[in-house]
Amino acid sequence: MKLQHHLGGLENLGPVTYEPRVFVEDWEQRVFGIHVAMMGLSAHLGDAVPQYPIEDVPTAFSSVWTWADLRKGAEAMHPFAYFQYRYYEKWLGGIGGFFVSQGYITEEELEAKAAEYLQDPGLDLPEGGDERIDDQVIRYLREGDSPRQGPATSPAFAVGDLVTVKDVPPTEHTRLPGNLRGRTGTVERVFEGDYGYFCSTGPDGIGEPMPVYAVRFEPTDIWGELAEPGAVLYGELYQAYLTHAMEEQQ
């Protein structure tokens, strides 16, 4: 079990640091930009709804890189480190590690180059590159990568149905908030169409297109006597995570 899959409701964390800035150090912007570029150049985008001509983009990047890959990295961290490192420190660790593990660069050359920049932060970046790379990245930002795929199948649940969230096997990556596992809620909305996910999560159950629901939970059903009065919690849940509440009880 991963703590990162079960954050909702974790106690004793103390006050929230209300830092309103998006980036607190200039370097954080650069790793954000690199991540967006990777998403915009990801090899899977040829199959995306806008049918990006990804094979014609003259980049050396040939991997699939989506939110799922970034999230997997964060979910693979030591759970205490997950709290100790700042958001973009985690990104830098995950993204740097990816380029090394995929053979684009070596750890040695990254360290050697970092040592140069550490010694002389004013050193310029190298110049050059084909503008079509940038054009694809910006086009991706404008047109996106919708997970809505294929013809809509007939949803298994309807508005008003009582559904119980499955306790699917723990896997590398999930989109099921841990605090909802095993809980029963009410379908409040059936989203139009079917929605895939960037990758298969294996026995966790998502990846292929399927209906998605907004499910309403009563906090007392989740948190017991720790629940706050006067609140409701909504999860947006893939059909694979749900079963009819009546079935569950039998």
Partner 1 sequence: MTVQFGYPEDREARSAARVRALEALLIEKGVITDATVDKVLGYFEADMTPLNGAKIVARAWTDAEFAERLVKDTPAAVAELDLPVGMDGAEGEHLQAVANTPGVHNLVICTLCSCFPWPVLGLPPYWYKDPTFRARAAREPRVVLKETGLDLDPSVELRVWDSSGHSRWFVVPQRPAGTDGMTEEQLAALVTTESMIGIAEVPSPAA
Site for partner 1 in 175-214 (CB under 8 A): 175-177, 179, 191, 195, 212, 214
* Binding residues with partner 1: total (CB under 8 A): 110
How many CA atoms are closer than 13 Å to the CA of 44, on its beta-carbon side?
A: 15
**Footprint of partner 1 on residues 122-161 (CB under 8 A)?**
123, 125-131, 133-134, 137-138, 140-148
CA–CA gap between residue 109 and residue 131 (Å, rounded): 26
Nearest CB to partner 1, comparing residues 10 and 246:
10
Beta carbon of residue 247, minimum distance to partner 1 (angstroms, whole number): 22
How long is the chain?
A: 250
Per-position x/- string for 101-120, each x denoting binding to partner 1 as judged by CB under 8 A, each - no binding: ---xx---xxx-xxxxxx--
Nearest CB to partner 1, comparing residues 8 and 246:
8
246 lies in the site for partner 1, by CB under 8 A: no
Q: Where are the alpha helices (DSSP H) in 48-130?
A: 67-75, 79-84, 87-101, 107-119
**Footprint of partner 1 on residues 37-76 (CB under 8 A)?**
37, 39-41, 58-61, 67, 71, 74
CA–CA gap between residue 105 and residue 98 (Å, rounded): 9
CA–CA gap between residue 210 and residue 164 (Å, rounded): 17
How many CA atoms are closer than 13 Å to the CA of 166, on its beta-carbon side?
A: 18
- Which residue from 21, 151, 247, 249 is in contact with partner 1, where contact means CB under 8 A? 21
